[in-house]
Amino acid sequence: MKTLDLLVIETALKWSLAGETIWLCTVIHTYGSAPRSPGALFAATKSGQYVGSLSGGCIEDDFLAKLKSGFFTNRSELVVYGEMSETFRPTTTLPCGGTIDVLVEHLPASNEAMAYLTAMLQSIKGHQSIVKSINIGESATYQPADHSAKANISHCGNTINITLTSCTTLFIAGISAVGLYCIDFALSLGFSVIVAEDRPEELRQIRANPRFSQITLIESFPAQYLEINGVSKETAIISLTHDPRIDDFTMIAALETPAFYIGAMGSKRNSENRLARLRECTDYSDTILKRIHAPIGLAIGSKTPAEIALAIMADIIQVKNTQK
């Protein structure tokens, strides 16, 4: 399973390469109760092909009908669903009672459109973040963003700026029974998943997993990979092996990254023992060591591997959605 944003841009680029004109929609603001968050993507062609989602279906149907009727001819427009707008009056209201502001970009097939979509694709894949700037009515301009940039949308007057970064990634250091369930949950939540593993038996297990084709497998000692390659701040790093050689070194390497979540498996006592080892062999302060979530996961009384994985992913989601 690919993340929805990645699927939208990959598909839009494919259509553009085939000579199709693309309408790319981005949720800019939501007010009250709304089904999608800012940044959600949707793309369509005039023939009725579409990919992605803006709502539970009501907005998409209205948009496609109006697109077929000849609307959205400007290079970019801002459409407000859920209330009346001075420039556009959609016939659809949201059953949840909220409102959604949607940026619509009109992208005729061209080298410029393909370069633009390619830059977005590379950003979502984690290669180079970009900042898009759109003056309503005009085409977007874009430039590379700083490596530390966070995904962000700002709207001031007639200008919208969108910082596009990599999709949320789960990095699993060494596979385990719990890790296999974390893969399932993470993919279902739209995360990309990287597994770093160099143990022969565990490599066999991960290759035999039905969802093997949907993850990135790095045949390397996890800490070594992190030290050389690092990760983006949109990444959660977890180590669930109960093997100090793997878990301890992964935590040491992870603390050198901007990952938004770092966690390791273990009871409260084992977690305290790990912290003692890390204090002894590193110069990390207690403030830095507090970045490690251990024992990992929300305290929901988990017993089975699936329940533990659920608690871990719930904790990651909570941190991701509440971080400032």
pLDDT in tens, 91-127: 555 555 578 899 999 999 999 999 999 999 988 887 7
Query: Number of structural domains, the chain?
Result: 2
Q: Which of 102, 130, 164 is the last residue of a domain?
A: 164
Query: Given 131, 164, 197, which residue is the final one in a domain?
Result: 164
Q: How confident is the model at residue 87 (pLDDT cuts 50, 70, 90)?
A: very low
Which ranges constitute the DSSP H helices of the chain? 4-17, 58-68, 111-124, 177-188, 200-208, 222-229, 244-254, 268-281, 286-289, 305-322
pLDDT at position 93: 57
**Stated length of the chain:** 324
Residue 192 and residue 275 share a domain: yes
Mean pLDDT of the chain: 90
pLDDT of residue 94: 58
Q: What is the pLDDT of residues 247-281, one digit of tens each?
A: 999 999 999 999 999 999 999 999 999 999 999 99
85 plus 222 within the same structural domain: no
> What is the sign, positive or negative, of the torsion defined by CA atoms of 299, 302, 308, 313?
negative
48-52, 86-90, 218-222: least confidently modelled range: 86-90
> Are residues 58 and 153 both part of a single domain?
yes
> Are 247 and 306 in contact, with CB atoms under 8 Å apart?
no
* Co-location of 215 and 270 in the same domain: yes
Domain of 59, in residue numbers: 4-164
Examine the domain organization and report whether 222 and 301 are in the same domain: yes
Tokens read off for 56? 């539970």
Between 148-152, 286-290, 294-298, 299-303, the lowest mean confidence (pLDDT) is in: 148-152
pLDDT at position 323 is: 80
Residue 1 has pLDDT above 50, yes or no: no
Residues 212 and 250 placed together within one structural domain of the fold = yes
| Torsion (CA) 149, 151, 152, 153 in degrees, nearest 10 | 130
Indicate whether this model's pTM tops 0.85.
no
The yes-or-no verdict on residue 80 having pLDDT over 60 is yes
Q: Do 40 and 130 have their domain in common?
A: yes
Q: Is 153 helix (H, G, I), strand (E, B) or coil?
A: strand
